[in-house]
Chains A and B, each alone.
Chain A
Amino acid sequence: MLIETKDLTLEYLNGKSGVIAVNKVNMKLPETGFYGILGPSGSGKTSLLYLLSGIRVPSGGEIIYGGQKLPNSADERSRLRKREMGFVFQYHFLINYLSSFQNIMVGAVDSEGEEKTKRLISELGLDGLEQRPPYKLSGGQRQRVAIGRAFANNPKIVFVDEPTASLDHKTGRKVVNLLRNYSKEACVVTVTHDKSILEEADGVFKMWDGELERIS
């Protein structure tokens, strides 16, 4: 298994009351495959991604990654994330003053980053758009640049937050197909409230009020 959680919990204060965003989640994900987490807004699925990627620190339970506990130190978690993980955020968060090419390069970690970026540009159908800044790209093109950035470091696992939220159906399908292709090399975990994009998933989880259940 690439990643495994044991009673993973995230609780935080919202005003004076405590909120349990992730409640004792147990899950296992292998080295490759396309996995989906379904759930309505506020069910805790994005929080779960932040926990799995180490962006957030759990308030209970543990995460085993590559056979070892995810490090406690923020710096070590950052290093691991940069080296071995990718993230496609719901809002693409591309850097506006950089070109598409440079935005993808931001995700790269080694000297092969430039070559890898060239390959990704071609694979993602972004040829000819390399020098364009994000504000001159369509929503689908921006999403593909964000995907490119997530895969630029040859990640072992990629977390994708609502990949089709701001796209039309046709563009959304294209994006899902891309992720599906990349899941042959890495574990792709996507959270969504759109059931249709998980039709060909290798595994689907359902999340409700912070609790996770495998449904296929």
Chain B
Amino acid sequence: MFSPLSILTYFFKNKRKVIPILAIITLSILGISVTAAINGSMWREITDRVWFYEKYYDVYLTFSSESEGSLEEYQEEVEQVDKEIKELDAVDHIIVADVQATDLMTLFGNEGARVIFVGEDDREKFVNEIGIELDEGRYPESADEIALGREMLMNKDLKVGDSIGSKIDDEESLSGEYKIVGALTYSDSKKSMKLGIGYRENKSDDLSSAGLFLLNPKDGKAEELASALSRLEDKYGVIRVNTKESVDKMIDEEFSAVSKVLWAINVVVTLTITSSIALLNVIFFMQRANEFGLLASLGYSRKFIVGRTLLESLISIILGWGLGIIFSEVVYGILNSWIFTPRGIQGLTVLESQTFLFTIPVPLAVAIFSCGTVFWKLMRMDPVSIIEKRD
């Protein structure tokens, strides 16, 4: 049997008081983590998509290679840039590629995912560097074949053997018609594969004939290459450069506004929940004033009474928070299996550092407010007025 004044006895004998507090905290954790979990899903989608910037920086012409007039106009400048890029000391290798995009449905609307067309000689180097593996089928062997990321196929409800392209679907942004011959994954299974690989027939390695130069920096020379490319971008107006730093900066700018909104929501929700739980705690405290007055009169020290009461509050808050994390993860698991995973979208989870951090202000603020109120009341308690039944 538990001691009559143990915390467990209180919890077992006061289920009607403890369960509502646990339920409020549990639901509030779910409520507050939803926005952060959606944000986290979006973040992972984007970071997975730009993962290859860890390995390759890309350079492309600011005008289309198909509009000959423009190209002729800048021919000399383009040839000079081409030459200078190829002479960069910090480059390990260059992959000459064409690029197209196909639309994918995401949480924040339709977003384009890249399909990179590389020559057969470059492909092995490219997939090994980025960590791409074949999950099914094979790599494309002709210009009318394509391999897409597993999650891309799920998102577009396609499978290996199907065809894709604007010729068979007006709304498809991938021009032409391609037979899907393979499904790709990342060797890091946590990453969602939103990249496609096509077959590049053109053997020319001139920037003017390619859509994209993919530049792999030498070990330890990533920063040097980024600076050199930035200088070339400033010097010649005909190229645009994407490096790890520039892409990260762009993502940070996009997400900082979302992050501020999320924190504002977090603060409002936390304050609302905190004040309601603190109020409930004060009501429960008032209902137990006789108990505290009695214990003090029987000789239980104020330290014991305060410690026991604060521990009760803290345990219920931590328990509620833990249950909230578990409950949220279960709810997200159900949502993921129903909605997100079948569409190849990064699922919701509370066990991601940013989302997890978002849940901490709830128990923290509730603990400070509740324990603060109870502590203040107990320290000012006059046992004599309680046992004499005075106000």
Query: How many chain A residues touch B (Cβ–Cβ < 8 Å)?
Result: 27
Q: Check B301 against A79 for contact (C-beta < 8 Å).
A: yes
Residue A179, interface by CB 8 Å: no
Residue B357, interface by CB 8 Å: no
List the B side residues contacting A107 at CB < 8 Å: 298
Q: Which of B30-38, B216-224, B262-270, B287-295 contacts A (4 or more CB under 8 A)?
A: B287-295
Q: Check A102 against B297 for contact (C-beta < 8 Å).
A: no
- A102-B300 contact, Cβ under 8 Å, with A46-B388, A91-B387: no
Whole-angstrom CA separation of A91 from B290 in the bound complex:
10
Q: How far is the CB of A73 from chain B (nearest CB, A)?
A: 11
Q: Which of B6-14, B84-92, B107-115, B201-209 contacts A (4 or more CB under 8 A)?
A: B6-14
List the B side residues contacting A98 at CB < 8 Å: 4, 9, 13
Within B46-60, which residues are at the interface with A (CB < 8 Å)? none
Q: How far is the CB of A44 from chain B (nearest CB, A)?
A: 13
Within B1-27, which residues are at the interface with A (CB < 8 Å)? 1, 3-5, 9-10, 13-14
Q: Check B4 against A82 for contact (C-beta < 8 Å).
A: no
Q: Check A106 against B295 for contact (C-beta < 8 Å).
A: yes
Q: Check A78 against B301 for contact (C-beta < 8 Å).
A: yes
Chain B binding site: helix, strand, loop or mixed by DSSP?
helix
A-B contact count (CB 8 A): 59
Whole-angstrom CA separation of A107 from B298 in the bound complex:
7
Whole-angstrom CA separation of A82 from B301 in the bound complex:
9
Whole-angstrom CA separation of A85 from B388 in the bound complex:
19
Interface string of B297-312 (1 = CB under 8 A from A): 1111111000000000
Q: Check A102 against B293 for contact (C-beta < 8 Å).
A: no
Residue A89, interface by CB 8 Å: yes
Q: How far is the CB of B118 from chain A (nearest CB, A)?
A: 73
Whole-angstrom CA separation of A145 from B100 in the bound complex:
84
Q: Check A97 against B13 for contact (C-beta < 8 Å).
A: yes
- A97-B14 contact, Cβ under 8 Å, with A81-B299, A107-B298: yes
Interface string of A77-99 (1 = CB under 8 A from B): 01111110101010101010110
Q: Check A106 against B387 for contact (C-beta < 8 Å).
A: no
Q: Check A78 against B294 for contact (C-beta < 8 Å).
A: no
List the A side residues contacting B10 at CB < 8 Å: 97
Q: Check B9 against A102 for contact (C-beta < 8 Å).
A: yes
Q: Check A95 against B294 for contact (C-beta < 8 Å).
A: yes
Q: Check B9 against A82 for contact (C-beta < 8 Å).
A: no
7 contacting pairs across A/B (C-beta < 8 A): A75-B301, A79-B299, A79-B301, A81-B299, A89-B297, A93-B294, A102-B9
Q: Which 7 pairs, one residue from A and one from B, show the smallest C-beta to C-beta distance?
A: A82-B299, A81-B299, A102-B4, A97-B13, A93-B294, A78-B299, A105-B4
